[in-house]
Amino acid sequence: MDDRHDDIRQSVRALCAGYPGEYWRALDRERAYPAEFVRALTEAGFLGALIPEEYGGSGLGIGAAAAILEEIHKSGGNGAACHAQMYIMGTILRHGSAQQKSRWLPAIARGELCLQAFGVTEPTSGTDTLSLRTTAVRDGDRYVINGQKVWTSRAEHSDLMLLLARTTPKDQVKRRGDGLSVFVVDMRAALGHGMTIRPIRTMMNHATTEVFFDDLAVPAENLIGEEGKGFRYVLDGMNAERILIAAECVGDARWFIEKATAYAKERRVFDRSIGQNQGVQFPIARAYAATEAADLMVKRAAARFEAGEPAGPDANMAKLLAADASWQAADMCVQVHGGFGFAEEYDIERKFREARLYQVAPISTNLILAYIAEHVLGLPRSY
């Protein structure tokens, strides 16, 4: 099996060469969306990588998708503007009806429809997803949605949203995970008719928003799978998300390590290259070792996921180790560059801000540790 995906990596690198540091820097300053880059990726078919060929996608596995995202980040770019277009559709693919699949998947594969907004997190419930308060109440052939989401990324650049809402009150369900349902919301129809989007400016250029629902009507035919089973459907997709974001972290780490190594060789202080000092080279070597280890875990998680085996522990560990490796490499890279690590034109401070996110989202480090403790090691549930 070609687990390196050399051809795909080469094509992504060639595409990314057209979007150098200057491009990302200018967008970062304005907190603007990389529309041109996303269009180029879409036209090249990369964002339809995981959609089966029968629906017009490339039918590739998660390992190939991970390679695409790793290369984007290794080139100095950022896939967060569109990575969700790759995996959110997985919930429709795995749990949607035949009619729903043929209605949405081919248009997503062609890039005519963007499904890259995922409404789970809410301001009051945070990580405690089962306590979310947005409700969907059945009313004839539609559901009426009320509530609020926060950190719904790319909502302003998406035609559709995958929304998790409560259909049965928490105190009336038989099992903890029951009572939540997943809907596809047509955001073009919803905007101004029960749905409002408010952008949130963040420390890095990340098109994220708050979304408010006020008696928004969603056709009942947009319910995915069975009512009340949505939490389980969404959990399925989260392993894919963790593997792909871990691959982005590996790409970021490799970018930082390459920058730091080149600079350590070239920068001369006290008549010697700074990289001649062990105090400079050891942190680079340590970041490199951590990144290679994280990459192995990403590949193992991807292989398990592709084989249809339970991938939860590996996907979580991949995300944990890769987020740690990228943050370690980011900190090291600033240190190796001394004062220049803070200068905008080096791109390091931008990537440093971007790399910080993955200690918190899409799931925080603590919650991964709690998962490993409880579900892998059998320790008591801590929350």
CB atoms within 10 A of CB 66: 30
CA dist list (Å): 289 to 1, 246, 329: 25, 16, 10
- Active site residue: 70, 71, 227, 241, which one? 241
The enclosing H or E element of 73 equals: helix 62-74
Annotation says 241 is catalytic: yes
Q: Which is nearer to ligand FAD, 121 or 134 (CB)?
A: 121
> Minimum CB separation from ligand FAD for residue 16, in Å?
22
- Is the peptide bond preceding residue 362 cis, with omega within 30 degrees of 0? yes
> Minimum CB separation from ligand FAD for residue 99, in Å?
27
> Minimum CB separation from ligand FAD for residue 318, in Å?
17
Q: Give the chain's length.
A: 383
Residue type, 35: A
Cβ(121)–Cβ(134) below 8 Å: no
Distance (Å, whole) CA 180 – CA 37: 35
Distance (Å, whole) CA 253 – CA 2: 23
Q: Which is nearer to ligand FAD, 8 or 321 (CB)?
A: 321
Q: Name the site residues for ligand FAD (rule: CB under 6 A).
A: 118-121, 126-127, 151-153, 202, 206, 208, 357, 360-364, 366-367, 370, 383
> Minimum CB separation from ligand FAD for residue 103, in Å?
23
Strands (DSSP E) contained in the chain are 115-119, 135-139, 142-150, 160-166, 180-186, 195-200, 208-219, 223-224, 268-269, 272-273
> Minimum CB separation from ligand FAD for residue 73, in Å?
16
Residue partners of 164: CB distance under 8 A and separation at least 6: 119, 120, 129, 132, 134, 180, 181, 182, 230, 231, 234
Distance (Å, whole) CA 47 – CA 40: 10
Q: What is the distance between the terminal CA atoms of the chain, rounded to a whole angstrom? A: 41
Q: Which is nearer to ligand FAD, 119 or 194 (CB)?
A: 119
Q: Which is nearer to ligand FAD, 264 or 317 (CB)?
A: 317
Q: Which is nearer to ligand FAD, 172 or 382 (CB)?
A: 382
> Minimum CB separation from ligand FAD for residue 297, in Å?
20
Closest alpha carbon to 49 in 18, 32, 27, 71 = 71
> Minimum CB separation from ligand FAD for residue 314, in Å?
20
Burial (CB count within 10 angstroms: exposed 0-12, middle 13-18, buried 19+), residue 243 = buried
Q: Which is nearer to ligand FAD, 103 or 356 (CB)?
A: 356
Q: Which is nearer to ligand FAD, 341 or 362 (CB)?
A: 362
CB atoms within 10 A of CB 337: 20
DSSP state of 307: T
Cβ(210)–Cβ(284) below 8 Å: no
**Which sequence positions are flagged as catalytic?**
241
